[in-house]
Amino acid sequence: MLSVETRQRAASWLDERLGLTAIGEFLRHKAVPVHSATIWYYFGGITLFLFVIQVLTGILLLLYYRPTPTEAFESVQFIMTRVEFGWLVRSIHSWAANLMILTAFIHMFSVVFLHAYRRPRELTWLSGIVLLGLALAFGFSGYLLPWNTVAYFATKVGTDIAASLPGIGPPLARFLRGGDEVGGATLTRFFGFHVAVLPGLTTLVLLVHLALVQKHGISVPPKVEQESRRRGVPIPQMPFFPNFFLRELMAWYGALGVLGSLAAIFPWELGVKADPFAPAPAGIRPEWYFLAEFYTLKLLPSHVWIFEGELLALIGFTLLAVFWALLPFWATNRQGEIRTRLVTGAGVALLAYLSTFSALGYWR
Amino acid sequence: MADDRRSLIRWLLGGGFTASVLSFLYPAIRFMNPPRIPEAAVNEVSAGKADELKPNTAKIVRFGSRPVLLIRVGEEEWKAFGAVCTHLNCTVQYRPDGHDIWCACHNGIYDLNGRVIAGPPPRPLEEYAVRIRDGEIVIARRA
C-alpha cells in the first residue's frame, strides 16, 4: 500500500505534467441545467457510447472478416458459427449500429424541439448533421460487407440513385462502385470506407462537436429561460461531475442492457449469399432508416412532367437535407428572435413524414 | 522595397504551397478513379437446351457480365430481355401467375414486350433476339 505522502507526490508529479488541477477545477464548475426536459440531454452521450461499442466490436470482427466476394459471406458465417461468441459480437455490432442511428435521430429531434440549435450553437448543429450523415454512411457501407442478397441489391439501388445525379452522378457512382457494376471492387472500397475513412472522419468531426458543446455549455430551452426570467429565479443546475456524469453512466448502462438483450434474444441474421445473376427477392427492403426514402421512390411514377421520378426524388431529398441542415439560419428572424412555432412545425412534419413513410415502406 | 520583396516571397511561398498540394492531390484523385477494363464484346450466348425450360417459366442467363431474363412464354414462343430494371438497377424476375416481369425492389412491372405497365421504371427493358438452333437456345443482341 502506498503511503499518503507517496500518493501526494505522484499526484503532484502528474499534475505538473498534465494540469490535472485545472481539469478538476473545470469539471467542478461545469453545470447542467435541471428542468422538465433534462432527460433529453442524455441521448447525445448514449449515441457516443454506442459509437464506442461499434468501434470495439468492429475491431473484433476485423480479426476474422475477409472483404472479397468469394470469402466475405463465408467469413461472416464462420464468425457466427465457429468463432466463440462470434454470433454475439456480430449481433452486438449490428444492433448497436441501428440503436446508434435511432439515438442520433432522437438527439437531433430533441435539439430541434428544445431549440438548442440557436445562436451561438449553429456550428454545433451543423457538425451534428455531418455526424448523422457519417452514421448513415457507416450504415450503408457496413450493410454490404456480409455480401448477402439484400445488401447487394441495396447497394445497387443506393449507388444507382447517386448515378442519377446530373453531371457528377455517373463518375460518383463509378467511384463508389470501383467500376461500372456492384462487385468485388465495390466490396473492397466499402470495406475501406467503413473501417478507415469513415472512422477517421467521424473521430475528427466528433471532436469538433464535443469541443463546441464544451465551449457553449448545455442549452436551456427558451420556455424555461422565459419562465425563470418571469419568476426572477435562476434555473436550477446540477454539477456535471459527479452528478450528471454518474446519471449519464447509468443511462449507458441501461443502453448496454437493451443492446445486450436485443443482441442475445434476436441474433442478427446473415441471409443468403449474394448472387449477381439472381433476381431481387420478393419483400426486399432496406434498413429501417432508409425506409421512408425507399417508399417515396416506390410511390413516384416513372415521369413527373419532364423529370424522371428517381431524379425528382433525389432533388427532393437533397433539398430537404440542405433545408434541414440550414435550420439554425432560417429559424431566426431579422430581429434575432427564434421562430419556435415554425421550427416545431417543421420538426413535427419531418417526423411525421419519416415515421409514416417508414411504416408504409415496412408493411406495404 | 521591403514590402515588395515581402509580397513576392509571400506569393512564391503561397504559390509553391498550393502547387505542391495540387501535385499531391492530382495523382490521389486519379488513383481513386477505377480504370476501365475492356470487356470482350458479346453478341450471342448459348442458354442451354430448349427442352430444359418449360412453357410459362423463365431463367436468368449470363450475357457477358450482364444478366438476361429468358422467358419461354409458350411452346414456340420465347422472349429475352436485359434483366436490369431501368428504375434503380435491381434484377427483375418473371411472374408466371401474372405473365409479367416484376422488379421486387420498387414494384416496377413490365409486360412481355418489355414495356412498363406499372410502377416507377422510366424506360422499357432492352429486348434480345431468341433463336432455337438444333435444340439449343441462342440469345443474341438485336441489330
DSSP A279-294: PPPTT----GGGHHHH
Cβ atoms within 10 Å of A214's Cβ, excluding its own: 12
User: In this structure, what is the dihedral angle of CA atoms A153, B118, A309, B71, given to the nearest 10 degrees?
Assistant: 40
From the number of C-beta atoms within 10 Å of its C-beta (0-12, 13-18, 19+), residue A98 rates as: middle
Phi, psi of A258 (to 5 degrees): -60, -45
B82-133 per-position pLDDT tens digit:
999 999 999 999 999 999 999 999 999 999 999 999 999 999 999 999 999 9
Instruction: Give the C-alpha separation, A206 to A251, whole Å.
Output: 20
Contacting residues for A73 by C-beta, under 8 A, at least 6 apart: A146, A147, A148, A270, A273, A274
Task: Work out the end-to-end distance of chain B between its first and last CA atoms, rounded to an integer number of angstroms.
Answer: 75
Q: Which of A150, A155, A160, A311 to mutate to test the interface with B (most CBs of B within 10 A)?
A: A160
Residue position matching grid coordinates 475477409: A66
Identify the three-state secondary structure at position A129. Answer: helix
Residue position matching grid coordinates 433534462: A38
Instruction: Give the gap in angstroms from C-alpha B30 to the nearest C-alpha of chain A.
Output: 10
CB spacing of A301 vs B120 below 8 angstroms: yes
Give the least confident one: A261-265, A339-343, B22-26, B33-37. Answer: B33-37
CA pseudo-torsion sign A87, A90, A94, A100:
positive
Q: What is the mean pLDDT of residues A30-36?
A: 90
- If you average pLDDT over every residue of chain B, what do you get? 92
Whether the ω angle into residue A120 lies within 30 degrees of 0, i.e. cis, is yes
Can you give the pLDDT at residue A211? 95
Q: Rounded to an integer, what is the distance from CA A68 to the centroid of its chain?
A: 27
Percent of chain A with pLDDT over 90: 81
Percent of chain A with pLDDT over 70: 100
Instruction: Give the C-alpha separation, A117 to A222, whole Å.
Output: 11
Q: Model pTM?
A: 0.89
Q: Which residue has the higher pLDDT, A310 or B60?
A: B60
Can you give the pLDDT at residue A339? 93
Can you give the pLDDT at residue A1? 66
Contacting residues for B98 by C-beta, under 8 A, at least 6 apart: B109
A185-238 per-position pLDDT tens digit:
999 999 999 999 999 999 999 999 999 999 999 999 999 999 999 999 999 999
Q: Which of A149, A150, A152, A156 to mutate to test the interface with B (most CBs of B within 10 A)?
A: A156
Whether A65 and A76 have beta carbons less than 8 Å apart is answered as yes
Can you give the pLDDT at residue A23? 86
Predicted confidence band at B37 (pLDDT cuts at 50, 70, 90)?
A: confident
A112-169 per-position pLDDT tens digit:
999 999 999 999 999 999 999 999 999 999 999 999 999 999 999 999 999 988 889 9
Percent of chain B with pLDDT over 70: 99
Chain B positions touching A294 (Cβ under 8 A) are 106
Whether B102 and B92 have beta carbons less than 8 Å apart is answered as yes
Q: Between vectors from CA B4 to CA B3 and to CA B9, what angle results, nearest 5°?
A: 95
Identify the three-state secondary structure at position A116. Answer: coil
Say whether pLDDT at A307 is over 90.
no
- If you average pLDDT over every residue of chain A, what do you get? 94
Instruction: Give the gap in angstroms from C-alpha B91 to the nearest C-alpha of chain A.
Output: 5
Instruction: Give the C-alpha separation, B87 to A267, whole Å.
Output: 33
Give the least confident one: A55-59, A177-181, B18-22, B40-44. Answer: B40-44
Can you give the pLDDT at residue A34? 93
A70-89 per-position pLDDT tens digit:
999 999 999 999 999 999 99
Instruction: Give the C-alpha separation, B62 to B47, whole Å.
Output: 8
